[in-house]
Amino acid sequence: SITKERTEVVLQGTSSLDPNDPTAVWEEYDFKCKPGDLTRRPCFITPYHYRLDWLMWFAAFQTYEQNEWIIHLAGKLLAQEEETLSLMATNPFAGRAPP
């Protein structure tokens, strides 16, 4: 193993008009190969790897100031940019208004 603890960056969005409302429902963007759902089989595509998923793993060890690309990724997800959404396993806002 690489580390004793698994720290992750999780990207979520909400359709709530007030994201600070305790009843706001937050929905997670799933990645194709990034660890997440413990019931999902591991993703192996040797010798390749999903670069975004891999970068998300390293981003969890640092601050967002050291990984400014995460802010840009979040903006593209908020704008529902198709090219960016194609990198994700699921879009919880497909067919709905953006978060």
Give, for all 99 residues of the chain, the pLDDT tens digit.
567 777 888 999 999 999 999 999 999 999 888 877 778 877 776 666 788 888 888 898 888 889 999 999 999 999 999 999 999 999 999 999 999
Cα–Cα dist 73/60, whole Å: 15
Using DSSP's 3-state secondary structure scheme, residue 12 falls into: strand
pLDDT at 2: 65
Task: Look at residue 34 in the predicted model and tell me its pLDDT.
Answer: 81
Give the integer Cα–Cα distance in Å for 31 and 52: 8
- Per-residue model confidence (pLDDT) at position 35: 73
- Give the start-to-end residue ranges of the domains of the chain: 12-90
CA distance 17 to 59: 29
For residues 51 and 61, what is the distance between their CA atoms, to the nearest angstrom? 16
For residue 23, what are the contacts with CB-CB under 8 A and spacing of at least 6? 16
pTM of the complete model:
0.81
